[in-house]
Amino acid sequence: MRALIVTAVAAEADSVVSGLTGPVPHPDPVTPEPRALPGSYLLSRRDLPGLAADVLVGGVGPAAVTAATATALALADYTLVVSAGIGGGFQPAAPVGSLVVADAVVAADLGAQTPDGFLDVQELGFGHSVHLPPAELAARAAEATGALLAPVLTVSTVTGTAEGAARLAARHPLAGAEAMEGFGVAEAAAAHGLPVLEIRAVSNAVGPRDRDAWRIGDALAALTAGFRALGPVLVHWGEHRHES
């Protein structure tokens, strides 16, 4: 099982790597220095029993992370691609400090505004606006990590008003979180015929932008704990997938 785990920034990547521990303490707790890929993307490697994980710092936003993910996928063979990081949670379903695992990765603002409302790119006839992770894997990941299993929205502009949050919630009433990279990671994975998973740790509520209320440290700690629980799930899923 070889997974490419893609984050936006280095702090998220460090949290993921810290969570990727084996069933016994790692003999060398010092994480190897990240190596640079073409394009100066940084990739860290973590080897566990049954799981080789490459953690990529892909940049902020769907365009940057698509390019980074595609670069990494062109250089090595992977079984699964995971989008991971922090994000906003829709209240009250996803409180600050909790985790959300995507059962759908949604391009929430890719489309057109019309007099009758927003039309996504799929409704416009220009492609698709949703990627579906493997249902069993997403469900097992949510159960193991204690996460909410719900759609995660990808936006190019983070929601910063109550009105914006209400509009998103009206279009996506089941959504658990919003972030800026999941759909880009999923697009690159799909181009290589690979399944995708997305996991988000909630640092703030979707809605009015209030930096004083953000809990980035708590979210990063939740991300580490999530990957500590997620590692065995990925190993089991990889073994089952190989057998089938």
Per-residue pLDDT of the chain (244 residues; tens, 9 = 90+): 899 999 999 999 999 999 998 654 444 444 567 788 888 888 888 888 889 999 999 999 999 999 999 999 999 999 999 999 999 999 999 999 999 999 999 998 888 888 888 888 888 888 889 999 999 999 999 999 999 999 999 999 898 899 889 989 998 999 999 999 999 999 999 999 999 999 999 999 998 888 888 899 999 999 999 999 999 999 988 887 766 5
Pairing verdict, β 99-107 and 196-205: antiparallel
Q: Are 107 and 127 in contact (CB under 8 A)?
A: no
Q: What is the phi/psi pair of residue 188, to 5°?
A: -65, -40
**pLDDT value of residue 24:** 45
Q: Give the closest residue to 15 by CA, choosing from 102, 118, 86.
A: 86
How many whole angstroms separate alpha carbon 69 and alpha carbon 187? Answer: 9
Containing 216, the helix (H) or strand (E) segment is helix 216-243
- Range list of β-strands (E), 94-220: 99-107, 111-114, 117-120, 130-131, 148-154, 177-179, 196-205
Q: What is the phi/psi pair of residue 26, to 5°?
A: -65, 135
- Range list of β-strands (E), the chain: 2-7, 35-36, 42-48, 51-57, 80-89, 99-107, 111-114, 117-120, 130-131, 148-154, 177-179, 196-205
In this prediction the pTM is: 0.91
Contacts of residue 241, Cβ cutoff 8 Å, sequence gap at least 6: 79
**pLDDT value of residue 22:** 61
Q: Give the closest residue to 82 by CA, choosing from 108, 111, 46.
A: 46
**pLDDT value of residue 31:** 55
